[in-house]
C-alpha cells in the first residue's frame, strides 16, 4: 500500500514524531492512523522506558486558575535540560497537566505516593463489603486488587485518564513526551487549592 505524504504529515502533526517513523508506522498499520498511533506509542514507550532512570533537574513550575479564581493549581514538571524546559511544547505540557489537576482533583502524583495506611484502609473497606458474600478468600483478594486499581485511577495523577484524551492515562501522555523530547520528564509535585476547602 502506498502511503501519501498528507497522511504522514497528519500523523506527524498529531504525534510530533519524525516523518520516517510515522511513515513506517502507517505502512505497518495499512494506512490506519489510529493503529499507527498505537504502533508509535508502543515503540516510543520502549525507548522512553530507558530514559526514565535519568535525572531530571531542569523544568518548569506551571499554574492554572479556574472558575474566576475559585480553583488554583501549581505543578512542578522536570526535564533534563534547560533547552527542553524552554520549549513551547514542554511549556504547553506543563500547562495541560495543571489544567488536568484542576479538573480531576488527584490526591497523589502516583501510586507510590499513597501512604500505606490509606492503602490498608481501602483494602479493609472492600474486604468488609464482601466478608459475608460467601466468596472464597482468593476471589475476595482479586476483587480487592481490582478496587485498588480503580482507586489509583481516581486518586493518582499518573493513573487518571487524561481529561483531553480519556483513552490515555496521564502517565502515557508523559511517556509520549519522553519519547518525543528524548529526555526524562517527571511530574514532581503539585498543589491544588479550592476556595473554601482545606
Q: What is the pLDDT of residues 44-84, one digit of tens each?
A: 655 555 555 667 789 999 999 987 889 999 999 999 989 99
Spatial distance between the Cα atoms of 116 and 175, rounded to a whole number of angstroms: 26
4-19 mean pLDDT: 75
Higher pLDDT, 122 or 75: 75
Length of the chain: 198
- What does pLDDT average to over the chain? 86
All cell numbers assigned to 115? 501512604
Spatial distance between the Cα atoms of 159 and 110, rounded to a whole number of angstroms: 7
Q: What is the pLDDT of residues 101-121, one digit of tens each?
A: 999 999 999 999 999 999 999
Which is it for strands 71-79 and 161-162: parallel, antiparallel or unpaired? Answer: unpaired
All cell numbers assigned to 189? 509535585
Degrees to nearest 5, angle at CA 15 with 10 and 17: 100
Where in the chain do CATH 1.10.8.10 domains reside? 5-51
Question: Which of 65-69, 121-125, 138-142, 150-154 is predicted most confidently?
Answer: 150-154
pLDDT-based confidence at residue 94 (cuts at 50, 70, 90): very high
pLDDT-based confidence at residue 31 (cuts at 50, 70, 90): confident
Higher pLDDT, 170 or 29: 170
Q: Which residues contact 76 (CB under 8 A, 6 or more apart)?
A: 59, 60, 61, 187, 188, 189, 190
Q: 29-43, 56-70, 155-169 — which is least confidently predicted?
A: 29-43
Q: What's residue 48's pLDDT?
A: 53
34-41 mean pLDDT: 79
Domain at 58-109+156-194: CATH code: 3.30.479.20
CATH level 3 topology of 5-51: Helicase, Ruva Protein; domain 3 (1.10.8)
Spatial distance between the Cα atoms of 43 and 126, rounded to a whole number of angstroms: 37
Q: Which residues contact 48 (CB under 8 A, 6 or more apart)?
A: 175, 176, 178, 179
Degrees to nearest 5, angle at CA 30 with 25 and 36: 35
Phi and psi at 79, nearest 5°, equal -140, -175
Give 184's Cβ-side CA count (13 Å radius).
15
Per DSSP, the residues of 131-157 read TTS---HHHHHHHHHHHHHHHHHHHBG
Q: What's residue 167's pLDDT?
A: 87
Q: What's residue 154's pLDDT?
A: 94
Spatial distance between the Cα atoms of 105 and 72, rounded to a whole number of angstroms: 11
Amino acid at each position: 500500500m502506498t502511503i501519501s505524504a498528507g497522511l504522514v504529515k497528519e500523523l506527524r502533526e498529531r504525534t510530533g514524531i519524525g516523518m520516517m517513523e510515522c511513515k513506517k508506522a502507517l505502512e505497518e498499520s495499512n494506512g490506519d492512523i489510529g493503529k499507527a498511533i498505537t504502533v508509535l506509542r508502543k515503540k516510543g514507550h520502549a525507548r522512553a522506558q530507558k530514559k526514565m532512570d535519568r535525572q531530571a533537574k531542569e523544568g518548569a513550575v506551571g499554574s492554572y486558575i479556574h472558575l474566576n479564581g475559585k480553583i488554583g493549581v501549581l505543578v512542578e514538571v522536570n526535564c533534563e535540560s534547560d533547552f527542553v524546559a524552554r520549549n513551547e511544547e514542554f511549556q504547553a505540557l506543563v500547562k495541560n497537566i495543571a489544567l488536568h489537576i484542576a479538573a480531576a482533583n488527584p490526591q497523589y502524583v502516583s501510586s507510590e505516593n499513597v501512604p500505606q495506611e490509606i492503602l490498608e484502609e481501602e483494602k479493609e473497606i472492600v474486604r468488609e463489603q464482601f466478608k459475608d458474600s460467601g466468596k472464597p478468600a482468593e476471589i475476595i483478594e482479586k476483587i480487592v486488587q481490582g478496587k485498588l486499581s480503580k482507586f489509583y485511577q481516581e486518586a493518582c495523577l499518573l493513573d487518571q485518564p487524561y481529561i483531553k484524551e480519556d483513552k490515555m492515562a496521564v502517565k502515557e501522555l508523559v511517556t509520549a513526551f519522553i519519547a518525543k523530547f528524548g529526555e526524562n520528564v517527571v511530574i514532581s509535585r503539585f498543589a491544588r487549592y479550592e476556595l473554601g476547602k482545606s
